[in-house]
């Protein structure tokens, strides 16, 4: 059987690579999923016969377009916009928009593919999609960001809608960008609908949406730790990133009794052995969200902290690691360093932040490890709750949303345990998340025929 599974995986990946040459991030995401699903698919011949996974790995639609805009000097700049509509078997396409210089088709296809499984795990009726542009908001004025967003939405609005495709924010797309995008959508379509999530509270947003991904990661880690009789209390926590996800993961980890000692950005990381308490975190929120500064300024403000330029925080001794920055930010060597330094739990706040070598290191040492599609699903889950509130023209309280988010993360954890528990008792959260996410989508696709 093992040989048969290996052959199936190799043949499947050969087809993916031939069809999608040079898209290494997409290949990596598909390979991680097919490794978990191959035995399951081979035991259920109808899935192989109906080519369900082959169809999931092929986007239903990819839209690519030119985004011309005027900068503050009156010069024309041109970026490229994308929307990958991956799978709508269980609901309208749902997934973020990323504005970052690194954005390309491979990255967006990997994110859209992961999103299909993540959205399925939430149990909410949402398909998977992802989009964005190689536009970088860093260093741009508010006026330039607005000009870009308006041009981007002028094309994107043809392809989205509350019952078709509901984008949200991702890296480089926060409250400011969502506001500009929504304003242009409303202006062009002459309708006020829940077509974008992550909106402001006063105009259709949901309480707790900014906090949701970071909070959800901590709720999931809490469930994982509980399987070992552990909790955040008294634990040292290393977090990468300093954007939305990292900020609120730090806040919730601290509230749960942990001591957060690191944050980072693309230039380096800060290490504060005294811990990043509520007052210091307030400074980080202001620094990043209002002044759009660099994390090294934290070390200038707080003398106990040290700034390490051009490095990532994974050499720091910690009990819990929450990678919340970007894809492939933890290498195999860094994962081994984490394990050697006593890390017992890794929960991913970013999408695919651990390389395959890093995942192998976690699993070889049998530490608690949750992939992003399970651990960071709280963000899109709360986007789904925002869609529900928009459809009902209601606004729930923060407490109601938090309770629903906590419950969703607990349910995702239970599904991972159900499908991921190995014969020796070790919970393989990668396998559990992949099978549980796949099941719902596969059954819907089988019911809907060859589409």
Q: Could you tell me the CATH number of the domain that includes residue 122?
A: 3.40.50.10860
Residue 442 lies inside a defined structural domain of this protein? no
pLDDT digits (tens, 9 = 90+) for 1-18: 688 999 999 999 999 999
Please indicate, yes or no, if residue 301 is contained in any of the structural domains: yes
Is 204 part of any known ligand binding site?
no
For 59-176, strand residue ranges (E) read 61-70, 76-87, 93-99, 128-133, 165-169
Q: Of 346, 375, 404, which residue constitutes the final position of a domain?
A: 375
Q: Is 51 annotated as a binding residue?
A: no
Structural domain boundaries enclosing 27: 2-56
CATH number of the CATH domain containing 360: 3.40.50.720
Same domain for 226 and 371, yes or no, is: yes
Q: Is residue 325 part of a domain?
A: yes
For residue 17, what are the contacts with CB-CB under 8 A and spacing of at least 6?
27
Question: Does 101 share its domain with 234?
Answer: no
CA 300 to chain centre: 31
Are 20 and 79 in a shared domain?
no
Residue 381 maps to a domain: no
Residues 334 and 218 placed together within one structural domain of the fold:
yes
Do the domain assignments include residue 441? no
> Are 99 and 81 found together in one domain?
yes
Residues 356 and 268 in one domain: yes
Annotated ligand binding at 213? The verdict is: yes
Largest CA distance in the chain: 65
Could you count the other beta carbons within 10 Å of the beta carbon of residue 138?
11
CA distance 223 to 413: 7
pLDDT per residue over 58-99, tens digit each? 999 999 999 999 999 999 999 999 999 999 999 999 999 999
Q: What is the DSSP letter of 289?
A: I
Residue 427 lies in a domain: no
Question: Is there a binding annotation on residue 244?
Answer: yes
């495709």: which residue's tokens? 165
Question: How many distinct structural domains can be found in the chain?
Answer: 3
Query: In sequence order, what E strands does 224-315 have?
Result: 236-240, 259-265, 268-271, 306-309
Same domain, 155 and 78: yes
- Collect the ranges in the chain with pLDDT lower than 70: 1
Sign for the pseudo-dihedral over CA of 363, 365, 369, 372: negative
Determine contact, residues 68/101, Cβ cutoff 8 Å: no
Domain-embedded: residue 149: yes
Task: Specify whether 19 is catalytic.
Answer: no
242 labelled as ligand-binding? no
pLDDT at residue 3, as a whole number: 85
Of 323, 358, 375, which residue constitutes the final position of a domain?
A: 375
Q: Model-level pTM?
A: 0.92
The four Cα atoms 36, 126, 243, 430 give a dihedral, to 10 degrees, of -10
105 and 24 fall within a common domain = no
Same domain (yes/no): 29, 73: no
312 shares a domain with 280: yes
Query: Order of strands across the sheet with 76-87?
Result: 61-70, 76-87, 128-133, 93-99, 165-169
Tokens 């259920």 sit on residue: 44
Question: In 3-state terms, what secondary structure has residue 126?
Answer: coil
Q: Which stretch of DSSP H or E encloses residue 54?
A: helix 52-56
326 assigned to a ligand binding site? no
The one catalytic residue among 130, 235, 288, 373: 130
Q: Residue 132: inside a domain, yes or no? A: yes
DSSP letters for 400-450 = HHHHHHHHHHHHHHHHHHHHHB-TTS-B-HHHHHHHHHHHHHHHHHHHH--
Report the pLDDT value the prediction gives residue 1, as an integer from 0 to 100: 61
Cβ neighbour number for residue 180 with a 10 Å cutoff: 20
118 annotated as ligand-binding: yes
Q: Is there a single domain that holds both residue 43 and residue 143?
A: no
How many Å from the N-terminal Cα to the C-terminal Cα in the chain?
Answer: 31
Both 36 and 147 in one domain: the answer is: no
CA distance 410 to 390: 25
Q: Which of 350, 375, 400 is the last residue of a domain?
A: 375
């Amino acid at each position: 059987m093992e040989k048969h599974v290996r052959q199936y995986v190799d043949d499947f990946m050969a087809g993916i690579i031939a069809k999608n040459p040079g898209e290494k991030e997409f290949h990596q995401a598909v390979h991680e999923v097919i490794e978990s699903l191959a035995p399951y698919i081979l035991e259920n011949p109808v899935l192989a016969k109906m080519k369900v996974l082959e169809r999931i790995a092929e986007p239903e639609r990819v839209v690519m377009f030119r985004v011309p805009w005027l900068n503050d000097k009156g010069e024309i700049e041109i970026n490229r916009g994308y929307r990958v509509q991956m799978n709508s078997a269980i609901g309208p396409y749902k997934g973020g928009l990323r504005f970052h210089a690194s954005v390309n088709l491979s990255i967006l296809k990997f994110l859209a593919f992961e999103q299909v499984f993540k959205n399925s795990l939430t149990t909410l009726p949402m398909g998977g999609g992802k989009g964005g542009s190689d536009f970088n908001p860093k260093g741009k004025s508010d006026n330039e960001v607005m000009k870009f967003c308006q041009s981007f939405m002028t094309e994107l609005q043809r392809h989205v809608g509350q019952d078709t495709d509901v984008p949200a924010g991702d890296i480089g797309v926060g409250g400011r960008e969502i506001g500009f995008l929504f304003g242009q959508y409303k202006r062009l379509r002459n309708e006020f609908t829940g077509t974008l999530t992550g909106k402001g509270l006063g105009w259709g947003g949901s309480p707790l949406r900014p906090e949701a991904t970071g909070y959800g990661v901590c709720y999931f880690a809490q469930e994982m730790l509980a399987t070992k009789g552990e909790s955040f209390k008294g634990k040292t926590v290393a977090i990468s990133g300093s954007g939305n996800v990292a900020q609120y993961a730090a806040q919730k980890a601290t509230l749960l009794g942990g001591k957060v000692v690191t944050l980072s950005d693309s230039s380096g990381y800060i290490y504060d052995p005294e811990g990043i308490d509520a007052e210091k975190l307030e400074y980080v929120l202001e620094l990043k969200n209002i002044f759009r500064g660099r994390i090294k300024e934290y070390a200038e403000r707080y003398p106990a902290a040290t700034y390490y330029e051009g490095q990532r925080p994974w050499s720091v001794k910690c009990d819990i690691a929450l990678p919340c920055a970007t894809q492939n930010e933890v290498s195999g060597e860094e994962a081994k360093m984490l394990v050697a330094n006593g890390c017992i739990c890794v929960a991913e706040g970013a999408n695919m932040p651990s390389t395959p070598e890093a995942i192998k290191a976690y699993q070889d040492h049998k530490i608690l490890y949750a992939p992003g599609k399970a651990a960071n699903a709280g963000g899109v889950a709360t986007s789904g709750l925002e869609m529900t509130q928009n459809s009902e023209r209601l606004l729930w309280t923060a407490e109601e949303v938090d309770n629903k988010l906590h419950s969703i993360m607990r349910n995702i954890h239970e599904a991972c345990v159900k499908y991921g528990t190995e014969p020796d008792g070790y919970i393989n959260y990668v396998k559990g998340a992949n099978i549980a996410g796949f099941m719902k989508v596969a059954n819907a696709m089988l019911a809907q025929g060859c589409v």
